Amino acid sequence: MFRLSNLIKSVVENKKERSLNGNIAIWNLTNRCNLLCLHCYSKASLDSKDTLTTQIIKNTIDNFEKSDIKFIIFSGGEPLVRKDIFEIATYAKERNIITYLSTNGLYINPSNAKKIVDTFDYIGISIDGDETTHDHFRALKGSYQKSLKAIKLIQDSGGRVGIRFTLTKKTIHSLEHIFKLSELHDISKVYISHLVYSGRGEDNLNIDLDQTQRKKAVKFIIDKAFSYYETNSNIEIVTGNMEQDAIVFLDIFSKKYPHLKDIMYKKLLNWGGNSAGRKLVNIDSQGFIKPDPFFPKAIGNILEDDFSKFWNSKENKLLNRLREHPRKILGKCSQCRYIEICNGGSRSRAYSIYHNIWAQDPSCYLSEEEIKSDKNFAYSSNIF
Ligand code: SF4
């Protein structure tokens, strides 16, 4: 996750960055889902069966302390289809773990909204464009209005809620709509995810942006973050699954605040780019432990042994290599002057396209010239 609004504020105002001291687990508790979204990395559907019992999940949460897991994002499928979701998240909260819910919002209603707010520290609800775009992308007519209603219910119950948006050829024209929606409804966080090639995201590879579209979209998002900061808006922008965004961000930041360039550079080095297998772990609905939710290989399974035995292992070759910083990545990354910031991007996309986990990220949109020289990035954002 690249928290650009937070970074601008912390560096320009010389404030301590709001950051989590500990590791993050994204837990796909179920593969059941009431929607059939085009990009779904889990290929979730209503027919799936749950594998993990409440007790196994609780035992694993008990074990998290040994692995410094301080933060769980409950995801799916649709996590609210599990009847024990509140029991599980409350159990985590009682152990001082910060709980996030990632949901399509369709099961949020007036009778459970307060309970959701009391159980989760933050609720991310997916909105993938304007009404027509969202309903098509999520394969259900009426889902846009329901998700929007869910946001309102959470807000009215006093919860922290934000939009989750996936950037694809099918949704890019709605990027501006998403920001307008946040402004109109006072939604304080917009998380924009780039596509990763896993599950239906891999089946529908043709919906991914080309490099020209991606450059323009990224520039548009970064410009928006600066404009929100400069106008004292409280809307926070975060991007995901594209650590390369940090490099374009650094370029734009350096032009706006040349005297703070070195401080921002150090902050980005400290952030360190792709964190799969370092600070980020995924447990899927069958108990497999993976470096991130899209990863093509697992490092173990919680049904076989304690989570911490796998995660804390010093012998696991995959984890050891992922934990090198910067990672040794082939292709253009091996010559990139920004590898310490980006860390080579997504290993899952590399594997999907090149069948080699250590190949360059095929979605890296920086040119050879840009990754080798101190050249300015002259991207235009006038496409929407
Ligand atoms: S070349 Fe590799 S390290 Fe450099 S920005 Fe692209 S993905 Fe990141």
Ligand 1 centroid–CA 2 distance in Å is 15
Confidence of residue 383 (pLDDT cuts 50, 70, 90): very low
Q: What are phi and psi of 159, to 5 degrees?
A: -90, 165
Among the atoms of ligand 1, which is closest to the Cα of residue 339? 3
Q: Nearest C-alpha to atom 5 of ligand 1 is from which residue?
A: 244
Among the atoms of ligand 1, which is closest to the Cα of residue 243? 8
Reported as a single tens digit per residue, the pLDDT across 318-373 is 999 999 999 999 999 999 999 999 999 999 999 999 999 999 999 999 998 899 87
In short, whether 248's Cβ falls inside 6 Å of ligand 1 is: no
Query: Do 162 and 5 contact (CB within 8 A), yes or no?
Result: no
Confidence of residue 38 (pLDDT cuts 50, 70, 90): confident
In short, whether 364's Cβ falls inside 6 Å of ligand 1 is: yes
- Out of 218, 371, 372, mutate this one to test ligand 1's pocket (max ligand atoms within 8 Å of CB): namely 371
Q: Nearest C-alpha to atom 8 of ligand 1 is from which residue?
A: 344
Q: What's the confidence (pLDDT) of residue 103? A: 97
Give Cβ neighbours of residue 325 (< 8 Å, ≥ 6 apart).
272, 278, 340, 343
In short, whether 244's Cβ falls inside 6 Å of ligand 1 is: yes
Q: What's the confidence (pLDDT) of residue 380? A: 59
Q: Is the pLDDT reported for residue 382 higher than 60? A: no
Overall pTM > 0.85: yes
Among the atoms of ligand 1, which is closest to the Cα of residue 326? 3
Reported as a single tens digit per residue, the pLDDT across 68-107 is 999 999 998 999 999 999 999 999 999 999 999 999 999 9
Confidence of residue 32 (pLDDT cuts 50, 70, 90): confident
In short, whether 366's Cβ falls inside 6 Å of ligand 1 is: yes
**CA 246, CA 129: separation in Å to the nearest integer?**
24
Query: Taking the CB of residue 320, how many other CB atoms lie within 10 A of it?
Result: 12
In short, whether 251's Cβ falls inside 6 Å of ligand 1 is: no
In CATH, the architecture of 4-323 is Alpha-Beta Barrel (3.20)
Ligand 1 centroid–CA 339 distance in Å is 6
- 300-301 and 288-290 as β-strands: parallel, antiparallel, unpaired? antiparallel
Reported as a single tens digit per residue, the pLDDT across 177-196 is 999 999 999 999 999 999 99
Q: Among 124-133, 141-150, 287-296, 369-378, where is mean pLDDT lowest?
A: 369-378
- Out of 211, 218, 333, mutate this one to test ligand 1's pocket (max ligand atoms within 8 Å of CB): namely 333
Calculate the alpha carbon distances from 281 to 49, 52, 71, 98, 350 in Å.
Answer: 23, 17, 11, 15, 18
Give Cβ neighbours of residue 49 (< 8 Å, ≥ 6 apart).
32
**CA 217, CA 365: separation in Å to the nearest integer?**
11
- 280-283 and 236-240 as β-strands: parallel, antiparallel, unpaired? unpaired
Q: Is the pLDDT reported for residue 384 higher than 60? A: no
Burial 336-375 (b: 16+ CB within 10 A, else e): bebbebbbbbbbbbbbbbeeebbbbbebbbbeeebbeeee
Reported as a single tens digit per residue, the pLDDT across 17-28 is 766 789 999 999
Query: Taking the CB of residue 258, how many other CB atoms lie within 10 A of it?
Result: 9
Write the burial class of residue 84 (CB in 10 Å: 0-12 exposed, 13-18 middle, 19+ buried). middle
- Mean pLDDT value of segment 2-16: 95
**CA 241, CA 218: separation in Å to the nearest integer?**
12
- Mean pLDDT value of segment 298-306: 98
Q: For residues 382 and 217, which has the higher predicted lDDT (pLDDT)?
A: 217
**CA 332, CA 339: separation in Å to the nearest integer?**
10
Q: What are phi and psi of 374, to 5 degrees?
A: -90, 30
Confidence of residue 378 (pLDDT cuts 50, 70, 90): low
- Mean pLDDT value of segment 300-304: 98
User: What residue spans define the domains of the chain?
Assistant: 4-323
In short, whether 339's Cβ falls inside 6 Å of ligand 1 is: yes
In short, whether 361's Cβ falls inside 6 Å of ligand 1 is: yes
Query: Do 81 and 35 contact (CB within 8 A), yes or no?
Result: no
Confidence of residue 36 (pLDDT cuts 50, 70, 90): confident
In short, whether 100's Cβ falls inside 6 Å of ligand 1 is: no
For a pLDDT cut of 90, what percent of the chain falls above it?
Answer: 85
